[in-house]
Amino acid sequence: MYRHKTNLYPTRKKSSTPDITLPALHSSKKEWTEINRILCVDQSLNDSGAALFVEGRYIPVTNADGNNVGLALTISQNWTQQRRCVAYGQWISSLIDQHDVDLVIGESHPFARGKQNSSIATVEALAGIRWITMYVCGQNDITYTEFSTNHVKTIMCGSSTASKEAVQMILTASGIELPRYQKKPDIINSNVCDAIAIGEVICRMQRQEILLRKYQPIVGSGRSQSKSRAKS
């Protein structure tokens, strides 16, 4: 007689959610717990956006009408590729000098993660602006690192394929005024929104890292206690 074999001890199914951590700084000068001023950049040769975070708080940039326009760079599509690169490099350099940042965070593009579904021209443009950002940071002795927007979407929306509108909805619900174009106040600047989203996620993770190091358990003689309790 056939008997159905039952597994009384099923293996635990692994979670599909990736273990997302802070990106490596590759610098011996500062750690994440020592960084106060972060500049997040959504890199593009046509329409770039940036966001400044000071002590974990987003700093909006308002115009004369009181609307948040953010830190944005719009380049004419009629310009040559070389002229766009020069303008982008000057823009990044001016932001670093003006805001005295400790760290610059760029977007980790899909082709950098082994996915080359874009055209050769797009890959060349993205690689070019990444190199320009790294070069300007090196010239100013500023640490540069990258963070995946897929991780940002996973943390904020629960899905790596979430739309820009979903991310913007989360930002609005968090009390952040979405930036708009200077000359088109009715249109939301999605590139600046992407930079803000990166900074919001990074700053929350940074705060968790600070708390983890502050209250990490100390294993002593037969018991475990936090650093703060050990001092008292």
Q: How far is CA 149 from CA 50, 99, 138, 143, 227, in A?
A: 14, 24, 23, 19, 35
Q: How far is CA 6 from CA 3, 9, 10, in A?
A: 9, 9, 9
- Tens digit of pLDDT for each residue in 159-197? 888 999 999 999 999 999 999 998 888 999 999 999 999
Confidence at residue 47, expressed as pLDDT on a 0 to 100 scale: 86
The answer to whether the beta carbons of residues 49 and 198 sit under 8 Å apart is no
- Tens digit of pLDDT for each residue in 127-138? 788 899 999 999
- Tens digit of pLDDT for each residue in 202-213? 999 999 888 888
- The more confidently predicted of residues 19 and 51 is 51
Given pLDDT bands bounded at 50, 70 and 90, which one contains residue 124?
A: confident
Given pLDDT bands bounded at 50, 70 and 90, which one contains residue 232?
A: very low
CA 109 to chain centre: 12
Reduced to 3 states (helix: H, G, I; strand: E, B; else coil), residue 8 is: coil
Mean pLDDT of the chain: 82
Nearest to 91 by CA among 67, 70, 107, 108: 70
Confidence at residue 205, expressed as pLDDT on a 0 to 100 scale: 92
Confidence at residue 35, expressed as pLDDT on a 0 to 100 scale: 92
Task: Report the alpha-carbon distance of residue 232 to residue 227 in Å, rounded.
Answer: 9
- The fraction of the chain above a pLDDT of 90, given in percent, is 48
Confidence at residue 218, expressed as pLDDT on a 0 to 100 scale: 58
What does the pLDDT average to over 112-135?
A: 72
Nearest-Å Rg of the Cα atoms of the chain is 22
